Structure formats: structure tokens, C-alpha cells
A = this chain, B = another copy of it.
């Protein structure tokens, strides 16, 4: 780390109501932080001695925030698409054969995929988290971690669809203790890059007693709760069978809906439930790609925003969404919501850019440190090449087409250089701290081995992808 002057033809600060454009702008980075943002000419004159990054053919913007991702299961990418039973028949038969090395390698590939498409902060929601924490320390990105807490015993793949999951209190307690232990050990680790949330996995996946305890911790210590809520009809079905209540009314009864709740998905939330969450100050994470592919649905994010709520975007997980690229999520958020409402003006590009930066920061409770380019914030930023065929031409007037080009056209590889905490972790498309090619090769091999171990379980399940293969389609 050191001092830099980062110049852009356009600097997107995300200050104000929109994307906060400064034409011919620059950012001064001092150590981990941004010390100045302003006009390039003035700053270049004043800081002529500083190493110079970016330039007049670049866009400079805040690093993207993936507000919901499970990197631990990335090695299952592509194993459960175009199917009705994504979880039990798709993922579960593979997942039970995963070993710690599989978690580590898959997660590493996922983090690299994210960084190479501009993600600087990963709200990773996983278990076990140990290997994943080491990955973040090694690779240098920011992570806002939640060790998933549930009471689900192994053997989910053997349950009948619709059968009530057995909950195991001891397992849940063990998971909570593990989470607290990691929080104590690693909070502010990696020179401040690691922070933590509580991570109950969903109202259907742990019992009332443990949820009550997590609520007390959240309210007592101010920890936010990163939690799947109304994530599918499967969850609602479990809730109704177990408690006679849908997810949101259940959480309300438990006193769990407040500004500390980060409600992820809301796929099955009714309009009334969505508004209730927004009005009580809960935050939402919208994962359009994942829910679109897994469920063929578009969650009620527009209704949540309309009710005054604040939402971020997340890529969810490689085996569902299949990719972890925030440029994909920004585009998906816009286009899927337009199609849902048959209205091309809803979810405009500038809003998606904010939901992947400053508004996501607010959702995670990190708005004072990241999400915009402002004095005093951490230096998490991207340098994007405007001479890529996907972005040409970039116009400053009479219309600024920067937001539409970034959201509707860019694919992620236009990001040339990534800085986190004032450190360059990718420069000119090259990961600086890790050997990308070696990791991908090892992860490929581990994936093939995992698939071999899972073969019996896969073939004996009613897996729809196996059926498609047998018919010669795949």
C-alpha cells in the first residue's frame, strides 16, 4: 500500500441521488483510504509526485459489493440447472461428498471470478467458514462474513420432497458457537478487511429457541442478521407445517423484523409481507439471476423499494445462478424487473449501479466505510477501460451513456484493475497475490473427483439432468 493518484475520464462517485459523475476526475488514495476526490487537472498539479493509475481513457468507480454469495459450494457449478428440485435432488447428493479442500478450492475460484468482474466485497454466507476465511486473507479482497447457522442433520437428500426437515438443537448450538468463535478471532482481520454478521440460514432451518438466542445477540451487540427469508415455496411449506405460519408473520411474531435484519430473496413474500419488512427498516438482498434460474421467478424488489426499503444485489451461488459476477446481477435486476412489470423504465441502469455499490453498503451496515468514492472511505475501487468493444462509445453529453453501457453491455472483463483497502489486488487483469491458472486447474480436478464420489447418489436419485443426458440432450 502507498499513495496513488487514480485518474478517470469519468469518476463515478455514487455520491448524491445518482451515480455522481465527475468528468475528468481523480481520486487520491493514501494508505487504506481515499483522501481526496476531485478534478484531475487540479489534483495532478497538486500531487505530481504520486504514482499515477488510470487515465483519460478509463472509468473509475467504487468496487462492487456482492451482498449475498455462498462461495463454499462453487465446485457444484452447473450441476442443478433446468430442474424443479434444485436443492434436494440437484445439490444435496453432491454436497454430502464435499471435503474441506473442495470448499477451499471452489471458494477460491468463486472469489477470483468475482474480483475479475469487479467485486471487492463479498457478503459470504457459508459453513464451514475456516477455509473460506483463509482464502480472503490470501487473496486480499474485503469480506462481510456470516457462518451459516442451522439445525439440519445430514441426509437431506434422503427426505421425501415436502417432508418436514428434522431439526437438531445440538447441531444448531455447535454452529452458533463456531460462528461466535470465528467472529471473535477474525473480526477486523486482514487489516480490517474482514467483518462479520450473524447468519441464521432461514426461518425453516433452525428452531425457535436458537433464533431467540440469535435475536438477543443481534439486539444486544448490534450485529446484523444475514438470513434467507421466504426464499421458496419449499420454505413456506415447511413453515406452515411446523408453525402454521408463513415466514414473515413468523419472524414478526418472534420480534425479528427490525433494522438489523438483512432479508435475502423474499421470493415468496406477498406484497403485504414485503411492505411490512421495508416499513420496519429491514434490508433486502435481491438475487435476480439465481432466483430466475432456480425458480423462474422475480422477487418483489420493486415493491420493497417502493415501500421505502433499501436493497442490495447478490449473486447467490455458483450451482444455482451458475455465475458470480455483479455485472450479470445488475443487468438481470434491470431486465427481469422490466419484464415482470412490462415496463422498460423500471429498474433503470443507474439504480442497479447504486444497488451494487452504495446501497449494498447500507444494507450490510458498511455505508461509512465503502460503497462510494468519498474522502475518508476505504480505497476499494475499479479502473475500467473505456476502449473495450463492449463499451464503445462512452459519451459525456448530451446524454451520458455510461450507466447503460456498464449495466446493459459490459460483461465484467472490462475491469482492468481492482484496488481493495488501498492495495492493488488485480492489475491489468492479473491477480496479484494468487496464481489463478494453478487454482483453476486444481479446482477442475477436485470437481471431477467430487463428481466421482457422488456418482452413486446422483444416479440413484431422480435427477432431471441425468434424464436429459440419457435422452442425448446434454
Contact = CB atoms under 8 A, between A and B. Distances in A.
A443 B78 contact: no
A149 interface: no
A112 interface: yes
A384 to B, nearest CB: 13
Interface string A416-437: 0000000000000000000011
Contacts of A335: 289, 292-293, 332, 336
Contact of A412 (B351, B411, B445): B411
A468 B348 contact: yes
Given A348-B468, A468-B348, A81 B404 contact: yes
B400 A293 contact: no
Contacts of A405: 77-78, 322
B404 A466 contact: no
A99 interface: no
Given A78-B409, A82-B344, A408-B78, A436 B389 contact: yes
A389 B19 contact: no
A162 interface: no
A454 B398 contact: yes
A112 B389 contact: yes
A19 B455 CA distance: 22
A385 to B, nearest CB: 9
Nearest to A414: B413
Given A16-B472, A473-B17, A343 B79 contact: no
Interface string A432-474: 0000110011011111100100110011000111101101111
A374 to B, nearest CB: 16
Given A77-B401, A409-B322, A411-B413, A345 B82 contact: yes
A296 interface: yes
Nearest to A114: B389
A296 B338 contact: yes
A147 B294 CA distance: 41
Nearest to A450: B393
- How many copies of this chain sit in the oligomeric assembly? 2
A178 to B, nearest CB: 28
Contact of A463 (B78, B82, B399): B399
Interface in A1-47: 16-19, 21
A153 interface: no
A372 to B, nearest CB: 14
Interface in A272-331: 289, 292-298, 318, 321-323, 325, 328
A263 interface: no
A350 interface: yes
A387 interface: yes
A447 B471 CA distance: 50
A455 B344 contact: no
A390 interface: yes
Contacts of A390: 113, 323, 325
B338 A444 contact: no
Interface in A328-373: 328, 332, 334-336, 338-346, 348-351
Contacts of A454: 398
Contact of A441 (B321, B387, B455): B387
A236 to B, nearest CB: 15
A393 B17 CA distance: 41
A256 interface: no
17 contacts: A18-B474, A78-B402, A82-B404, A84-B344, A113-B389, A293-B338, A294-B344, A296-B338, A325-B390, A339-B339, A350-B468, A387-B444, A393-B447, A395-B448, A397-B451, A398-B459, A411-B411
Given A16-B472, A81-B348, A393-B444, 11 more contacts: A81-B408, A82-B334, A83-B345, A294-B344, A323-B390, A325-B390, A351-B473, A398-B466, A399-B474, A400-B474, A413-B413
Interface of A: 16-19, 21, 57, 74-75, 77-79, 81-84, 86, 109-110, 112-113, 116-117, 289, 292-298, 318, 321-323, 325, 328, 332, 334-336, 338-346, 348-351, 386-405, 408-409, 411-413, 436-437, 440-441, 443-448, 451, 454-455, 458-459, 463-466, 468-469, 471-474
